[in-house]
Amino acid sequence: MLENFKVKLRSITCLIFDVDGVLTNGSLLVMPNELHRTMNIRDGYALKAAVDAGYKVFIISGGKSESVRKRLADLGIKDIYLGVENKKEILQKIMDEGKFQSSNILYMGDDLPDYEVMQISGLPCCPADACPEIKSLSIYVSTQKGGEGCVRDVIEQVMRLHNKWPHSIRPNAL
């Protein structure tokens, strides 16, 4: 399965992520005005690096948090679909408008609302703590949990394979 994953990475130009359970650990802090989430800073770094390298990055989420929209927009992500009830319909729109083939699309989800979308994407992936149905559908299950670096994991693998991952600054070079 891992060999198949590495082969499929070569065709990826479009990265699509769910929010709750993927970019977050799925926990919600219930407050009077909004549900609060936490996101991993390394996932954010990888998302920004992907946008800067020219990958098309999309967010499709059932959640409606404007603070999530702001955080992702600050990373340079322009296509953020929140409050989505039919993720499959949004994916089809993305494919039609962007002229993407399913083989170009990596989709990372964690729970049943992602199931139909993951069936269409060329490279369905999930965090280590995804539900069993999503794990069984995934070509790649990250070693990282949702909100704990799973997004960084898949983005870094795609970008390294394409020689687009930012190089580290060596201490001696400073």
d(Cα 57, Cα 150) in Å, to the nearest integer? 15
Task: Judge contact between 114 and 103, C-beta under 8 A.
Answer: no
Position 73: which residue type?
A
* pLDDT tens per residue across span 109-132: 999 999 999 999 999 999 999 999
Spell out the domains of the chain, with CATH numbers in brackets: 2-165 (3.40.50.1000)
How confident is the model over 45-94, as pLDDT tens digits?
A: 999 999 999 999 999 999 888 889 999 999 999 999 999 999 999 999 99
The 3-class SS string of the chain reads: CHHHHHHHHCCCCEEEECCCCCCCCCCCEECCCCEECCCCHHHHHHHHHHHHCCCEEEEECCCCCHHHHHHHHHCCCCEEECCCCCHHHHHHHHHHHHCCCHHHEEEECCCHHHHHHHHHCCEEEECCCCCHHHHHHCCEECCCCCCCCHHHHHHHHHHHHCCCCCCCCCHHHC
Cα–Cα distance, 9 to 105 (Å, whole number): 9
What is the reported pTM? 0.91
Question: What CA–CA distance (Å, rounded) separates 93 from 3?
Answer: 30
